[in-house]
Chains A and B, each alone.
Chain A
Amino acid sequence: MKTLMGVTLALVPLAGWAASTEYQDIERGRYISVLGDCAACHTVNDDQPFAGGVPLETPFGTLVAPNITPDATTGLGRWDYEDFKAAMTEGVGKGGYHLYPAMPYPSYTLMNEEDIHDLWSFLQTVTPVENAIEANQLPFPFSIRSVMMGWNWLNFDERSFEPDPEQSDEINRGAYLVEGLGHCGTCHTPRNFMGGAGGDKFAGATIEGWYAPDITPNAHVGIGGWSEDELVEYLQTGGNRYGFASGPMADEVHHSSQHWTEDDLYAVARYLLSGAGLESSDWDHAPPEPLPEDNPQVTAGSHIYFDRCSGCHTPNGGGEEGIFPQLASNPLVNGDNTTSLIRVVLAGSRPVATDAKPTAPAMPSFAWNLNDEEIASVLTFVRNSWGNAAPAVSAGEVADMREELRGD
C-alpha cells in the first residue's frame, strides 16, 4: 500500500509536466545541449553545470569559456532569446560585442530555430551559479574583439542548414549533426593561418597537443575502413578495435556522444562514411608504399616492438578486442600527423571511461625507458607493418614533443 501511494504521488507531477509543451521543449533543449557538447567548454565541475571556466588553448592565446547559467551578473541572466540566437548564429554577444570562434558559432549558425529555442529554454532552467569569468585572455592585438569583424568577413557565413534533396533523411540528419550542432570540423578540419576552417575538410588537425584524426572516407588514413557499427561503437562507448578516445575527444565522448540516441549516431556514421559533404578528390588518395623491412629504423623498431609492445598489442599487431587496440591496418597509425602517436608512447594515455565501457584501459608511459631515437624507430616500424604505410618518424619530432609535454 505504502509503495503504491509513492508511485501514485510520483506519477502525478510527471503527468502534469508531460502535458506541458514547455517541459518537452526543455527536455529537448537538454538533449540539444548534449548534441552541441556545450559542457565540454562551459562545465568544469559537474556539480556546477555550465558555470564556465574551461581554458581553451588556441594558437592565438588562451580563451576561457564563459558562464552560461542564468546568473544575472556573471551569466546570461540578463539575456533574452534574441540575444542568445545572435550569439549562436552570428557570433555576437548581448550589446554587440564579437565572440571568438573558439565558440563554434560558424557551425551553430546551421542550427534550426526550434533547436535554438529549445536550447535556450533549457539553459534558463539551469541552476544559476555566480562565477565571474574573464573570457578574453588573449594577447594584443587578438584581445581586441572587433578584430573578429574582419575575421568573420573572411571566414564566416551566417547561413541556415539546407537539406540535400538528393540524399536520404538520415544522411541529411547526419549532415545537420556533423556540420552544425556536433561541430566536428572545429577540431577535425585543419585551421588556416587565421584559425578559420581551411581546405582539406575533415582531413585531421592538431588540437591541444593531440591529433584530431582524419574523418574522411579514406580507408588508409581516414575512417573509410570502419563499418557504421564500428564508428557508432567508438562514439557511443569511447572505443572500438582501432583505439580509444583520448585527449579532447575523450571529453567529447564523455559529455556528449555517449548520450546521443542510436538513430543520431547512425545518421552521423552514415553521413561521414558516405562522404556526402565532401568532394571525393579531396580524400580519395592512393596510400603510399610502406618502407622496406631493411630500413634501419624499421629493423630496430621491429626489435623494440617485439620486446616492449607485443605483450599487449600482440606480435602481429592484432591487439586484443576491448582492451589493446589493434595496430594493423589502423588509420590512426597511418596519418601524416604523428602528434598523438608520439604523445601516447611518451606520456601514456588514459582514454575516456564511458557508461558502456567503464574500464578505460590505460597505455603506460615509455618516456623513461625509450629514448627519442628508439621511440622514432618503433613508431616507424608500426607505421610500416601489417598493412600500414606512412612516412618515418624522426627522433627530432619525439624530442620536440618530449620537451613540450614536460614543459606543461
Chain B
Amino acid sequence: MKEKDDDAAPGGLTRRQLLGSSAALLVGASGAAKGLTFQGTPEWKPFDNVAVEPVDTDTAWQFFTDEEAATVEAIVERLIPADDLSMSGKEAGCAVFIDRQLAGAYGGYERLYMHGPFQDGTPEQGDQSALTPKQRYRLGLGALNDHCRNEHGAVFAELSEEQRDQLLAQLEQEEIQLDDIDTQLFFELVLTNTMEGFFADPIYGGNRDMVSWKMLGFPGARYDYRNYVERHNEDLGFEPVSIGGRPDWQTQG
C-alpha cells in the first residue's frame, strides 16, 4: 500500500502551502477591490419603488405583424383550449403577453450574454443559439406558415382545430422540420411563453381576470402568510390579487 501524505492537497500542494497562498490571494484581492462602505442608514428617497408599467392590452400589436399575431393566437388557443376549467390561452391574452414581451427587453435577450462564439454545447449547457426570441418567432412563424401553405394550402390560422392540434403535435415530436430554424427551439419557446402568459400577473397582458389563479386557487401577489402558515387543508377564502389590484378595490355603488 502506498504511503499517503495526509497533508497533500490535490495537485501536490501541502495544506499549509494552500492556506498560505489563499491568504495571500485574499490580501491581494482585498487590496485591489473597490469596496463600498455603508454607514448609518441606507439611502432612502420618497416615491422610490420598482414599479412595473401595466401592459395596455387595447393598443395595436407591438412586435407581431397581423399575420404573425393571428398565427400565435391560433397556436395559444390550441395549446390551452377553452374547457370546463378555464377560458382559452387566446382569450386569456397569451398572444398579447408574448407580443409585449418580445417588444421589450426580453425580445432581444438583453439580460443575456449574446455574443459569439456560438457553439452547440452539451445538453447540460442549455440554449446556445445565437437567435434572440424576436428572431425565433419571426423565423419560426414564417416557416410554419410556409409549411402550412405547402402542405395544406392555407396559413396555420385558417386551419381547423384538428389540423392545428396535429401540426402542433408534429412540431413537438419534431416530425416536421421547419426551414431556417430548429423546430424544437421554436416550439419549446412558444410553449414556454404561452404558459408564462397564462400564469403571469395580469399586468403583463395575459392571465386575464386572473383566470389561471382562480383555477388553481393561487392567492396572487400577497406579502405575508404568517397568520395562515399553520392552517392546513382548509379554504382560506383568498381572492387572488394582481400587482395592479382586484375588482373589490373599487368602491361599489
With A and B bound together, what is the CA distance between A359 and B41 in angstroms? 7
- Known A296-B252, A365-B49, A373-B251; contact A307-B245, beta-carbon cutoff 8 A: yes
A358 with B41: CB separation less than 8 A: yes
Interface flag for A300 (CB, 8 Å):
yes
- Known A365-B49, A369-B51; contact A303-B246, beta-carbon cutoff 8 A: yes
B41 with A350: CB separation less than 8 A: yes
Could you say which of A300, A308, A353 contacts B251, with CB atoms under 8 Å apart? A300
Interface size on B, residues (CB 8 A): 24
Q: Which residues of B contact A299 (CB under 8 A)?
A: 251-252
Q: Which residues of A contact B249 (CB under 8 A)?
A: 300, 303-304, 307, 374, 377
With A and B bound together, what is the CA distance between A92 and B40 in angstroms? 39
A244 CB to closest chain B CB (Å) equals 12
With A and B bound together, what is the CA distance between A368 and B47 in angstroms? 8
A224 CB to closest chain B CB (Å) equals 31
Residue-wise interface mask of A (133-149) relative to B, using a CB-CB cutoff of 8 A (1 in contact, 0 not): 00000000000000000
Interface flag for A360 (CB, 8 Å):
yes
Q: Which residues of A contact B252 (CB under 8 A)?
A: 296, 299-300
Q: Which residues of B contact A374 (CB under 8 A)?
A: 245, 249
Could you say which of B46, B47, B224 contacts A311, with CB atoms under 8 Å apart? B224
Nearest-neighbor residue (CB-CB) of B48 within chain A: A365
Q: Which residues of B contact A365 (CB under 8 A)?
A: 46-49
With A and B bound together, what is the CA distance between A200 and B243 in angstroms? 43
B223 with A300: CB separation less than 8 A: no
Could you say which of A300, A307, A310, A405 contacts B250, with CB atoms under 8 Å apart? A300
Q: Which residues of B contact A347 (CB under 8 A)?
A: 46-47
Interface flag for A312 (CB, 8 Å):
yes
B243 with A303: CB separation less than 8 A: no
With A and B bound together, what is the CA distance between A350 and B227 in angstroms? 27
A348 with B251: CB separation less than 8 A: no
B40 with A353: CB separation less than 8 A: yes
Interface flag for B110 (CB, 8 Å):
no
Could you say which of A303, A304, A310, A368 contacts B51, with CB atoms under 8 Å apart? A368
Q: Which residues of B contact A353 (CB under 8 A)?
A: 40-41
Q: Which residues of B contact A315 (CB under 8 A)?
A: 227
Interface flag for B84 (CB, 8 Å):
no
With A and B bound together, what is the CA distance between A201 and B215 in angstroms? 58
Interface size on A, residues (CB 8 A): 34
With A and B bound together, what is the CA distance between A374 and B249 in angstroms? 7
Could you say which of B222, B239, B245, B251 contacts A297, with CB atoms under 8 Å apart? B251
User: By DSSP majority rule, is chain B's interface helix, strand, loop, or mixed?
Assistant: loop
With A and B bound together, what is the CA distance between A314 and B252 in angstroms? 25
With A and B bound together, what is the CA distance between A349 and B249 in angstroms? 24
Residue-wise interface mask of B (36-48) relative to A, using a CB-CB cutoff of 8 A (1 in contact, 0 not): 0000110010111
Q: How many A-B residue pairs have CB under 8 A?
A: 73
A144-170 CB contacts (< 8 Å) to partner B: none
Interface flag for B72 (CB, 8 Å):
no
Residue-wise interface mask of A (323-350) relative to B, using a CB-CB cutoff of 8 A (1 in contact, 0 not): 0000000000000000000000011111
B49 with A300: CB separation less than 8 A: no
Nearest-neighbor residue (CB-CB) of B250 within chain A: A300
Q: Which residues of B contact A311 (CB under 8 A)?
A: 222-224
B245 with A367: CB separation less than 8 A: no
Interface flag for B98 (CB, 8 Å):
no
Interface flag for A362 (CB, 8 Å):
yes
A367 with B47: CB separation less than 8 A: yes
A368-386 CB contacts (< 8 Å) to partner B: 368-370, 373-374, 377
With A and B bound together, what is the CA distance between A347 and B48 in angstroms? 8
Interface flag for B148 (CB, 8 Å):
no
B250 CB to closest chain A CB (Å) equals 6
With A and B bound together, what is the CA distance between A310 and B227 in angstroms? 10
Interface flag for A287 (CB, 8 Å):
no
Interface flag for B31 (CB, 8 Å):
no
Could you say which of A346, A360, A373 contacts B41, with CB atoms under 8 Å apart? A360
Interface flag for A364 (CB, 8 Å):
yes
B122 CB to closest chain A CB (Å) equals 43
With A and B bound together, what is the CA distance between A365 and B223 in angstroms? 15
The 4 closest A-B pairs by CB, nearest first: A311-B223, A311-B224, A368-B51, A350-B44
Sample 22 A-B pairs with CB under 8 A, ordered by A number.
Answer: A297-B251, A300-B248, A303-B248, A307-B241, A308-B223, A310-B224, A311-B223, A312-B224, A347-B46, A347-B47, A350-B44, A362-B44, A364-B49, A365-B49, A367-B47, A369-B51, A369-B244, A369-B245, A370-B245, A373-B250, A373-B251, A405-B47
